[in-house]
Homo-oligomer: A and B are copies of this chain.
């Protein structure tokens, strides 16, 4: 075979790869230089035909200009994607930040129609803003059923804890994205909801057999496929009762036999990021890409060394190790997916930045963000928190570098300060607030005197392992109540923690739960606790929540 044909083949293969880049323009702005390619590497790879870029970091303005630059560098039409599961504001400053999907699952039990309408608006808001910034592929909805409350990585990212709720809401979200002309992605096939292990850190091993998957995990994927989801992402998950040798991402049994044939999915199948430890601890860069492709995926996401992976797959096709027909099929699916964008009736939303109009966030987006927080707040007690001469506002957060949920002017800090509560923050790099006493675990002498508002930002987030489950918040609550120090409680994020705490919470303590952690959630949660409700008629959100609680 001539080297020209080989070079054409390599360019075709390259189209199936999605590499990772920072959303910032400059190399020295990259937050994760180990994972994010340099501009020189990007320009070279895109010039050689690489067909997709996963973007993370940067503001929405930067993202818009970044996408334009990447398109200029590319030989082919690009798939430009991001892990945006909770509104563009979750990842790109300036976009709208929405409560996590699990919030709507709770609403779905009381008002399924309203929850579905909100899930579709959620998808439209995300799709409109993603498209406005230049993205054309959103790596959502999460279709996992969060059956394990201690799941360290899915948790509130899931649209529910039972397959019917997840099916209904994930499909409504997909529908919203689709109406805005953006590709969607159902993940993480065949289901990451039962794991107690984070696949960023290790390979989860799950004991379900195929019948058990059919009865639970596969239901939302079937539903998303029926609704026309554009792509499905494979999880790095080992099911020994189905394929004892290969995690899903490299399992022909799970990808080709189950997803492609039995479930009849005709769209794009994409791997989860191949740089995750679940994969890199087993395979090299080239090996992982070849095995995943041979097992039946179409697109390879974030291989550790893209050049080596492209080369290895090219070789595997040339040698006949992988049939050439697989390449043609994958390329055709990619073309088809891009073609749906071009024929989509949705407008080209890039006009936003071109016209330099004021805001990416439309008034309807802001209203959605507020509605979602309001309709998913749960208020335990309407007695307001009392102003204090010298009170403590004790916040627990996952980390400070960075901390996207807080700033000096964040409501979680500024609102308690207005009524006399000084902020003290507990985070993994901070001075230890714990003492060696299981019934009084919080070292109160390190925090100071006075009534204390406890605000817990805790939800299960990637890369944290089991850290969050180990903090004894139930015992802290009992300690604070025993010492008559607890002025109020706010839980942001995990409904499981909230429910645990409710079991020991004294009925006289003002307390509120929001699934969201962003400033809007802080504002509404604290306002509901700090402002005396003088006229219930005029306080709509409290009324709604008395009703839904």
Q: Shortest Cβ distance from A218 into chain B, in angstroms?
A: 37
Is A29 on the interface with B (CB-CB < 8 A)? yes
State the CA gap A400–B27 with chains docked (Å).
Answer: 24
B407 near A26: Cβ-Cβ < 8 Å: no
Contacts of A359 in B (CB 8 A): 26-28, 39
B401 near A401: Cβ-Cβ < 8 Å: no
State the CA gap A177–B72 with chains docked (Å).
Answer: 34
Contacts of A58 in B (CB 8 A): 59
Is A69 on the interface with B (CB-CB < 8 A)? yes
State the CA gap A268–B549 with chains docked (Å).
Answer: 63
B448 near A432: Cβ-Cβ < 8 Å: yes
Is A390 on the interface with B (CB-CB < 8 A)? no
Contacts of A40 in B (CB 8 A): 358
State the CA gap A122–B432 with chains docked (Å).
Answer: 42
Is A24 on the interface with B (CB-CB < 8 A)? yes
Is A426 on the interface with B (CB-CB < 8 A)? yes
- Interface positions, chain A 1-55, Cβ under 8 Å from B, are 24-29, 31-33, 39-40
**Chain A binding surface, main DSSP class:** loop
Contacts of A432 in B (CB 8 A): 424, 431, 446-448
Is A244 on the interface with B (CB-CB < 8 A)? no
Q: Closest residue of chain B to A400, judged by CB?
A: B400
B431 near A447: Cβ-Cβ < 8 Å: yes
B24 near A61: Cβ-Cβ < 8 Å: yes
The 8 Å CB contact of A360, one of B26, B408, B429, B443, is B26
Is A93 on the interface with B (CB-CB < 8 A)? yes
Is A179 on the interface with B (CB-CB < 8 A)? no
- Interface positions, chain A 404-447, Cβ under 8 Å from B, are 406-410, 413, 423-427, 429-433, 443, 446-447
Contacts of A403 in B (CB 8 A): 400-401
The 8 Å CB contact of A431, one of B24, B25, B94, B433, is B433
The 8 A CB mask of A57-85 against B (1 = contact, 0 = none) is 01111100100010010000000000000
State the CA gap A427–B446 with chains docked (Å).
Answer: 14
- Interface positions, chain A 426-479, Cβ under 8 Å from B, are 426-427, 429-433, 443, 446-448
Is A361 on the interface with B (CB-CB < 8 A)? yes
A94 near B28: Cβ-Cβ < 8 Å: yes
Is A356 on the interface with B (CB-CB < 8 A)? yes
Number of copies of this chain in the oligomer? 2
Q: Shortest Cβ distance from A400 into chain B, in angstroms?
A: 5
Q: Shortest Cβ distance from A426 into chain B, in angstroms?
A: 6
B61 near A65: Cβ-Cβ < 8 Å: yes
Contacts of A358 in B (CB 8 A): 26-27, 39-40
Contacts of A356 in B (CB 8 A): 69, 72
Q: Shortest Cβ distance from A358 into chain B, in angstroms?
A: 5
Contacts of A443 in B (CB 8 A): 446
Q: Shortest Cβ distance from A164 into chain B, in angstroms?
A: 36
A59 in contact with B29 given A358-B40, A403-B401, A432-B448 (CB within 8 Å): yes
Question: Most chain-B Cβ atoms within 10 A of its Cβ — which of A65, A72, A410?
Answer: A65
State the CA gap A494–B401 with chains docked (Å).
Answer: 24
A93 in contact with B29 given A431-B432, A443-B446 (CB within 8 Å): yes
Question: Most chain-B Cβ atoms within 10 A of its Cβ — which of A33, A359, A447?
Answer: A359
Is A402 on the interface with B (CB-CB < 8 A)? yes
State the CA gap A462–B443 with chains docked (Å).
Answer: 33
B431 near A59: Cβ-Cβ < 8 Å: no
Contacts of A29 in B (CB 8 A): 59, 93-94
A59 near B60: Cβ-Cβ < 8 Å: no
Q: Closest residue of chain B to A26, judged by CB?
A: B94
B61 near A25: Cβ-Cβ < 8 Å: yes
Question: Most chain-B Cβ atoms within 10 A of its Cβ — which of A59, A360, A430?
Answer: A430
State the CA gap A39–B413 with chains docked (Å).
Answer: 27
State the CA gap A32–B360 with chains docked (Å).
Answer: 19
Contacts of A26 in B (CB 8 A): 60-61, 94, 358-361
Contacts of A399 in B (CB 8 A): 408
Q: Closest residue of chain B to A366, judged by CB?
A: B28
Contacts of A31 in B (CB 8 A): 407, 409
Q: Closest residue of chain B to A406, judged by CB?
A: B401
State the CA gap A403–B360 with chains docked (Å).
Answer: 27
Contacts of A72 in B (CB 8 A): 356
A24 near B401: Cβ-Cβ < 8 Å: no
State the CA gap A527–B27 with chains docked (Å).
Answer: 23
Q: Shortest Cβ distance from A297 into chain B, in angstroms?
A: 31
Which 6 A-B pairs give the minimum distances between C-beta atoms? A431-B431, A26-B94, A25-B61, A400-B400, A39-B358, A430-B430
Which residues of A are at the interface with B, using a C-beta cutoff of 8 A? 24-29, 31-33, 39-40, 58-62, 65, 69, 72, 93-94, 356, 358-361, 399-403, 406-410, 413, 423-427, 429-433, 443, 446-448
In the complex, 29 of the A-B residue pairs with CB atoms within 8 angstroms, ordered by the A residue number, are A24-B59, A24-B61, A26-B94, A26-B358, A26-B359, A26-B360, A26-B361, A28-B359, A28-B361, A29-B93, A33-B409, A39-B358, A39-B359, A59-B62, A61-B62, A61-B65, A62-B62, A69-B356, A399-B408, A400-B403, A401-B407, A401-B410, A423-B429, A424-B431, A425-B430, A430-B430, A430-B431, A431-B431, A443-B446
